Amino acid sequence: MANKTATMTEKTATVTTKTATIVEKTATIGGLCKYMKWLYLNGHRKDRYDGIDNYLRPQEDRYENGDGY
């Protein structure tokens, strides 16, 4: 019985380690996705008026920040 208990303890430890690895990798992927989204949105916000004539968001003036053309 003691041998089976030790085996189950080992298996539990292995599963716990694997779960921790999965959680760590998921966090890494999540961080990467967040960074990629930030890059994507940053690029689009910079050029948000390109190709859109006379478009202003509420409370915005395109000449206020010197980006107007």
Q: What is the pLDDT of residues 13-32, one digit of tens each?
A: 999 999 999 999 999 998 89
Average pLDDT (41-50) is 60
Asked if residue 62 lies in contact with residue 56, where contact means CB atoms within 8 angstroms, the answer is yes
- pLDDT recorded at residue 25: 92
pLDDT of 40 above 90: no
Global pTM? 0.47
Give the C-alpha separation, 45 to 65, whole Å: 13
Q: How confident is the model at residue 1 (pLDDT cuts 50, 70, 90)?
A: low
pLDDT of 45 above 80: no
